[in-house]
Amino acid sequence: MNFALHCGSFEAERYWRDSRLASIPAIQNIQTKKITDSMDELLFVFCKTGDLLLTRHVMDSVQYDYIRSIGYDIHMNRNPWFTSDRENEMDHLNVFEIMTLSNVTDQLLSCFSLEKATLEAFAAIPGMLAFAQRHHLASHYPEQNIVQRINAKSYSLEMRDRLNLPNVGRVVEGREQLLAITRKMLCDGAVLLKDEFGVSGKGNFVIHSEKALLRLIKHLDKQVAQEKLIRFVVEPLLDRKFDFSCQLYIHESGEVQLVSFQQLDNHGYAFGASHTMSESFKAHLYDSGYTDQVLEIGRLLYQDGYFGDVCIDSMILQDHSIEPLVEINARKSMSLIKHGVDDLITNTQLHSSLVQFNLAVPARFQYEHLLQNLNQQQILYTKERGMGILPLSSGTLISALINRDQNERTMGRLYFAVIYESQQHMQNVVAGVNQSLLDSGINMIT
Q: How far apart are CA 149 and CA 64, in angstroms?
A: 37
Regarding beta strands 3-7 and 52-53, do their DSSP bridges make them parallel or antiparallel, or are they unpaired?
parallel
Which neighbouring-strand residues pair with 361? 410
Q: How far apart are CA 3 and CA 361, in angstroms?
A: 37
pLDDT of residue 403: 52
Tens digit of each residue's pLDDT, the chain (446 residues): 799 999 999 999 999 999 999 999 877 677 888 899 999 999 999 999 999 999 999 999 999 999 999 999 999 999 999 987 787 788 899 999 999 999 999 999 999 998 889 999 999 999 999 999 999 999 999 999 999 999 999 999 999 999 999 999 999 999 999 999 999 999 999 999 999 998 766 789 999 999 999 999 999 999 999 999 999 999 999 999 999 999 999 999 999 999 999 999 876 666 778 898 999 999 999 999 999 999 999 999 999 999 999 999 999 999 999 999 999 999 999 999 999 999 999 898 999 999 999 999 998 899 999 999 999 999 999 999 999 999 999 999 987 556 555 567 889 999 999 999 999 999 999 999 999 999 999 998 87
pLDDT of residue 201: 65
Burial class (CB in 10 A: 0-12, 13-18, 19+), 369: middle
Write b or e for each residue in 116-125: b if 16 or more Cβ atoms lie within 10 A of its Cβ, otherwise e.
ebbbbbbbbb
pLDDT of residue 51: 97
Secondary structure of the chain in HEC code, one letter for each residue: CCEEEEECCCCCHHHHCCCCECCCCCCCCHHHHHHHHCHHHHHHHHCCCCCEECCCCCCCHHHHHHHHHCCCCCEECCCCCCCHHHHHHHCCCCHHHHHHHCCHHHHHHCCCCHHHEEEEECCCCCCHHHHHHHCCCECCCCCHHHHHHHHCHHHHHHHHHHCCCCCCCEEEECHHHHHHHHHHHHCCCCEEEEECCCCCCCCEEEECCHHHHHHHHHHHHHHHCCCCECEEEEEECCCEEEEEEEEEEECCCCCEEEEEEEEEEEECCEEEEEEECCHHHHHHHHHCCHHHHHHHHHHHHHHCCCCEEEEEEEEEECCCCEEEEEEEECCCCHHHHHHHHHCCCCCCCCEEEEEEEEEEEECCCCHHHHHHHHHHCCCECCCCCCCEEEECCCHHHHHHHCCCCCCCEEEEEEEEEEEECCHHHHHHHHHHHHHHHHHCCCEECC
Q: How far apart are CA 142 and CA 135, in angstroms?
A: 19
Instruction: Please name the CATH architecture into which domain 344-444 falls.
Output: 2-Layer Sandwich (3.30)
Query: What fold is seen in the domain 239-333?
Result: D-amino Acid Aminotransferase; Chain A, domain 1 (3.30.470)
Please indicate whether the domains covering 239-333 and 344-444 agree at the CATH topology level.
no
Neighbours of 378 (CB within 10 A): 10
Prediction pTM value = 0.94
Q: How far apart are CA 210 and CA 222, in angstroms?
A: 19
Name the packing angle between helices 210-224 and 175-186 (round to 10°). 170
Q: How far apart are CA 190 and CA 186, in angstroms?
A: 6
Domain ranges (residues) in the chain: 3-141, 151-236, 239-333, 344-444
Neighbours of 36 (CB within 10 A): 19
Q: How far apart are CA 17 and CA 108, in angstroms?
A: 31
pLDDT of residue 402: 61
Write b or e for each residue in 64-73: b if 16 or more Cβ atoms lie within 10 A of its Cβ, otherwise e.
bebbeeeebe
HSE of 275, CA atoms in CB hemisphere, 13 A = 17
Contact (CB, 8 A) for 172 and 154: no
Neighbours of 233 (CB within 10 A): 23
Q: Please, which residues have CB within 8 angstroms of residue 180's CB and are 6 or more apart in sequence? A: none
pLDDT of residue 200: 65
CATH number 3.40.50.2000 is the correct assignment for the domain at 151-236: no
pLDDT of residue 268: 62
